[in-house]
Structures are given as C-alpha cells and as structure tokens.
Amino acid sequence: MPVESGSSAAARQAKQKRKSHSLSIRRTNSTEQDRSGLQRDMLEGQDSKLPLSLRSNLLDLFSQIEREFENLYIENLELRREIETLNDRLAAEGQTFEGADLAKGALKTKASHSTSQLSQKLKTTYKASTSKIVSSFKATTSRAVCQLVREYVGHRDGIWDLSVTRTQPVVLGTASADHTAMLWSIETGKCLLKYTGHQGSGKVIDFQSLSSSASGDQTAHIWRYMVQLPTPQPVADMSQTPCEDDVDFSDKDEADGEVEGPNDCPSVRVATTTLRSHQGVVIAADWLVGGKQVVTASWDRAANLYDVETSELVHSLTGHDQELTHCCTHPTQRLVVTSSRDTTFRLWDFRDPSIHSVNVFQGHTEPVTSAVFTVGDNVVSGSDDRTVKVWDLKNMRSPIATIRTDSAVNRISVSVNQKIIALPHDNRQVRLFDMSGVRLARLPRSNRQGHRRMVCCSAWCEDNTSCNLFTCGFDRQAIGWNINIPALLQEK
C-alpha cells in the first residue's frame, strides 16, 4: 500500500483548513444577515427618541465591531492550534514551547541549534500577536504624582534646549531662538544670568565647570558664569495632580502674549572661547568626561571634538549622510553617540587613544532626533517614527525594549536615580516610561498648566528636592516638575 509523503499530507491539510475557514465565513455572513434583520424587526417594536435611521446605523456599526472581534477570536484559535502542532514537533525533538529541559540523551549540536531557533521564533510570534490584545484591555492604575512646581518665563521666542548644571551651585540653563541663553534659579524661577554673545538662534546649552552653548551662527561658545542664588521662597502648592495616561483636558491653542524679558538680569556678551570649524548650524554640544574636551554636532553632517583650552579641532567625526540632530557623551567613559536625519545613530569610541572605532546602528525608519547614554550600559534613542528604543551596549544587534507612541519624539532624557525616560512630543505631551518600555505616566496638560506648544526637550535633576524634571518648548517657557513615581509602580 503506498504511503503518503509528508509534503502532500501537509498540503492537503492546509487545503482542508482553507475550505473549512471559507465555509465558516459564509456561515458567519448568513448568520449576521439573519441577526441584523432580527435586530431591525426588534427596533420597530421598541420605544426610543432616536430616529429609526440613526438607530439602524448604530446597529450596523456595532455589528461591524462584533465581526472584527469574532474574526480576531477565530484567528486566535487558529494560532493556538498551530502552536500546539509545533509544540508536538518540538516535543518529539526533545524540547517544548515552554522551555522544558531537553530529554536525556543529548541531541546533536545541529539539531539542538535548529530547535532552539524554532522555539525562539515561536515565542516571539506568540508574544507579538497576543500583546496587542492584552495591552488594549490592560487597566491603567497609575498613581504617580506629577506636580507643576514652577514656570521659568522670560525668553522672547521658543526654547530649543535646557540643561542642569553638574556642579554646585545647581542652576537651570535654557537656549532660545531669541539668540540668548539664560541661567535660572531653580527654587525661585528668577533669571540669574543672560548670555547674548550668539548671532543666531540658540540651539543647546550644557554645563561642566564652564558653560557651552551652540547656535545657528555656526559656532559654539564657551563662557564662564558666576551666579549667586537668591533666598528660596515658599513654594505654593499649585496642584497635587495624579499623572494622566490618556486624558487631555484641552486641545485648544492659547494665544501667547508678549513676554517681557527680565530687565534686572545681568548679562554676558563675550565668550571665553569660540569654536568655529563647522560649516552649518551647530545643533548640539556636550562635554566629554573629564571636562577638557567638547563635542559639537552640526547640520554640516559632522561632529567635532575640540580641546577647550586651545580651541583646536581634535577630531572631525564624519560619516552621516544627512544633517546631525544631536550628540551625547557617556557620563563615565570616553564614548560619544551622534544621531542624524539619515535614520541612524553612531557610537564613537575614544577609550583607546590610538584607535577610534565607530559603529552604525539602523534601528529607526525616520530621522533619529536624539540618542542618550544611561549610567549603565544602555543607549536610548528617539525618532520621528514615533518610537523610542532601548539598546544594550554589549549587544546592539536589536533593541531590548521598544516604546511606540502617537507623536514624534524630541530630545529625550533618562533619570539616573529612578531610571525613567522622559519623552517630549510634538503634540505637546510629555510621557514617562521605565527602561523596559512600560508606561508610567503622562504629565498633566490643560488650560491652567503644562505646555501649549511643541515640547522640544526634557532634562532630569537628581540634586533638587522641589523640581526633578524640567521641560521646555515653543510656548517660550520652561517648566519645573516634581515627579513622584512609587516604587511598586516602577516594578510592574
């Protein structure tokens, strides 16, 4: 008697499955028609103030929703059957889907490798298919408290960037499109110093023992600052607002009135050092560990490494195909990450003075707006493709976590102590996630508080008790927040 081959049996089984699936669809459609007719008959016998046509449209819409869920349910059942079939195959080869130990009597290396690949692929597919359904029904029980503590108002145009000093005294710095950079008292909201040395829009401000600022005039400036902090005033309790996850109180834009700059704020007009090697707008700057060198990123598709004392160009980091959008240095190692509009970010290694290696990472589909280091061995990248990805420096082949949002992401920041990622968005929202990609909170935004325009940047402050997160945007203001994320919420 002839024996049927495995391939022909599989083909016949797939054909029968398609036939049964088409039959079930036809039965479902006929059932839906009978059901819709019955529902319309029931409508005529019910009393309602709604017009019959409107009620009929509502029923049609609910029927469509029911069909979608029914098709999803059928697809889920078929996936489970396929998983059981593949589980049987894996069990026959000595491994199960749940990851049980291999059967006694070790398999050959080649067979074990292929089996583990199939198991990993199956796990990934199953998790991806079920996570969408589970996340849509997941209850949001966030009890994080996000309190707006203080607003820093004084710039005459949108604020591109802000940063917090790394040494005492701790002050807030902002860089604006009004060609100025300002230093603020965190506790009082008073302007302490204004830098007016740039001829173009201020793009970034960063601190070490000196302050560095970059501008649209194709230069980066190093300037000294000496400030005296005023006596802190009691902070009024503006609102103990629980962080909202999805509710937006108002989508209406508010008219921005003319903001008068602080008249009594002392100013600095001359830079200690001017760095001039770029041929385009300097969009970012950061201090390399040690405080003796500065890295700048420009629209001329290059990042430059300068010696601060001599103003000499040490290295020009080229290779990006389009304009750079950001640069960041590692807090403890001589590492630099640059991001670009070419959808990539690059990791530059200067730990060995004789060898300067570079690695290119293509993890996004749209311009990468920023990429930052964490205290550990991670890099977090944000993009205009509305995703944020967390990478492990030891294995950068694929991200360890992916965050999907509903708006383009601007310059992100990561809290050192709490390990929380702050995501500023084009749609005026600021959302908080942990390093595993779990959403923790959304900062409140209404007519009374929050940003009214695009949020450009966020920065954490670990050494201040009243404000530990700062954001800025094109509504010409910076905002200081007090973020309290319960430990239990971070562990979920």
The answer to whether the CB of 324 falls within 8 A of the CB of 338 is: yes
User: Which of 39-48, 184-193, 479-488 tops mean pLDDT?
Assistant: 184-193
pLDDT digits (tens, 9 = 90+) for 278-319: 999 999 999 998 889 999 999 999 999 999 989 999 999 999
What does the pLDDT read at residue 107? 38
What does the pLDDT read at residue 13? 58
Cα separation of 11 and 14, whole Å? 5
One CATH from 2.40.50.140, 2.40.110.10, 2.130.10.10, 3.40.630.10 for 145-225+264-489? 2.130.10.10
pTM above the 0.75 mark? no
Among candidate residues 366, 328, 365, the one with its CA nearest the CA of residue 346: 328
pLDDT digits (tens, 9 = 90+) for 56-87: 888 888 888 988 888 889 988 988 888 888 88
What does the pLDDT read at residue 170? 87
How would residue 153 be classed by pLDDT, with cut points 50, 70 and 90? very high
Q: Tell me: pLDDT of 239 over 60.
A: no
Say which range, 39-43, 60-64, 174-178, 425-429, has the weakest mean pLDDT. 39-43
> First CA to last CA across the chain, in angstroms?
60
User: Which of 5-14, 16-25, 51-60, 124-133 tops mean pLDDT?
Assistant: 51-60
Q: Tell me: pLDDT of 376 over 90.
A: no
Domain coordinates in residue numbering, the chain: 145-225+264-489
What does the pLDDT read at residue 439? 93
Cα separation of 490 and 439, whole Å? 9
Q: What is the dihedral of CA 371, 376, 377, 378, to 10 degrees?
A: -30
What does the pLDDT read at residue 53? 82
The residues, any chain, with a CB within 8 Å of residue 244's CB and separated by 6 or more, are 441, 442, 444
Q: What is the mean pLDDT of residues 122-135?
A: 48
User: Which of 250-259, 448-457, 471-480 tops mean pLDDT?
Assistant: 471-480
